[in-house]
Amino acid sequence: MSDEPAVLVEARDGVQIITINRPRQKNALNGEVARGIAAAIDELEESDQLWVGVLTGAGGTFSAGMDLKGFLTGDLPVVEGRGLGGITQRPPRKPLIGAVEGWAVAGGFELLLACDMVVAAETAHFGVPEVKRALVAGAGAAMLLAQRIPQAIALELLLTGDPITAARAAELGLVNRITPEGGALEGAVELARTIAANGPLAVAITKQVAREAADWTFEEGWDKQSELMMPVFVSEDATEGATAFAEKRPPVWKGR
């Protein structure tokens, strides 16, 4: 047993970096990992100094998925009401970016579906091999993958269980940016800093609208969007954004 925590958390210039820290187990997900990620996300959501999260894995692998040894003993990587890894059923309100080196498969891949964006090394691989173990990708992939990519391609990935490369994932729109090997985390932090430089309330509500709009009818969408965004327009940050622009200086956000 290692004395190292299963999840490491670091704050860097408004960006929270969450690292799954079980490299000897290829960052397989167990209960401790799920609780650690959930706690880090709570910190991200409650902080007025952290605006964007980055989720990654230690030791050159993102995550090989659920720890099957733990599964056999009942140590499930699930947080009640929040899903696998503490995020698949209830993603954070603030943006979350996945940073992928090596393999992101099974539950590891499903964590990425809970992220808003993905930055991957050119040597990364992605897959949902659950059917190869007579399991169902029930932490998001079976339900959500066909909403992210064409249904026929999603079914190919889900029903064959075969992995794809980072380049193919980028072609399909599952990966936003590709970096050289070893550069995924820095690439994700760079993207996160760009987002964190913007008004945090506007970013959070924009994410919420983009995520939820598919469930709205065209008619109700305008009302729901207006209800969500009007508090942003009368916020302190909105006034600060306009004032900073007029004064030709960087804005100082307060998140309110």
- pLDDT tens-digit readout, 131-160: 998 889 999 999 999 999 999 999 999 999
Selected catalytic residue, list 10, 110, 190, 247? 110
pLDDT at 71 over 80: no
Residue 223 burial class via C-beta count within 10 angstroms: exposed 0-12, middle 13-18, buried 19 and up: exposed
Q: Give the confidence band of 187 by pLDDT, cuts at 50, 70, 90.
A: very high
- Residue 110 annotated to the active site: yes
The arithmetic mean of pLDDT across residues 98-121, rounded, is 97
- Residue 130 annotated to the active site: yes
The arithmetic mean of pLDDT across residues 189-204, rounded, is 94
Selected catalytic residue, list 130, 190, 219, 227? 130
The arithmetic mean of pLDDT across residues 96-111, rounded, is 97
Q: Give the confidence band of 36 by pLDDT, cuts at 50, 70, 90.
A: very high
> Coil, helix or strand for 99?
strand
Please check whether residue 118 is in contact with residue 96, taking contact to mean a CB–CB distance below 8 angstroms: no
pLDDT at 256 over 90: no
The arithmetic mean of pLDDT across residues 88-112, rounded, is 96
- What's the pLDDT score for residue 74? 82
Q: How many CA atoms lie within 13 A of 111 on its CB side?
A: 36
Choice between 212 and 98, residue whose per-residue pLDDT is larger:
98
The arithmetic mean of pLDDT across residues 36-51, rounded, is 95
Q: How many angstroms separate the CA atoms of 152 and 175, rounded?
A: 18
- What's the pLDDT score for residue 75? 83
CATH 1.10.12 segments of the chain: 200-247
CATH numeric code, 200-247? 1.10.12
- pLDDT tens-digit readout, 200-209: 999 999 999 9
CATH 3.90.226.10 segments of the chain: 7-196
- 1 vs 26, 43, 174, CA distance in Å? 15, 27, 35
pLDDT at 166 over 70: yes
% of the chain residues with pLDDT over 90? 80
- 123 vs 103, 108, 161, CA distance in Å? 9, 16, 19
Domain made up of 7-196: CATH architecture: Alpha-Beta Complex (3.90)
Q: How many angstroms separate the CA atoms of 60 and 43, rounded?
A: 25
The arithmetic mean of pLDDT across residues 34-57, rounded, is 96
Choice between 69 and 232, residue whose per-residue pLDDT is larger:
232
Of 50, 241, 15, 245, nearest in space to 253 by CA: 241
Q: Which residues of 68-88 are buried (b: 16+ CB within 10 A; e: fewer)?
A: eebeeeebebbbeebbbbbbb
- What pTM, to 2 d.p., does this model score? 0.92
- What's the pLDDT score for residue 2? 59
Long-range contact pairs involving 227-230 (C-beta distance under 8 Å, separation at least 24): 229/205
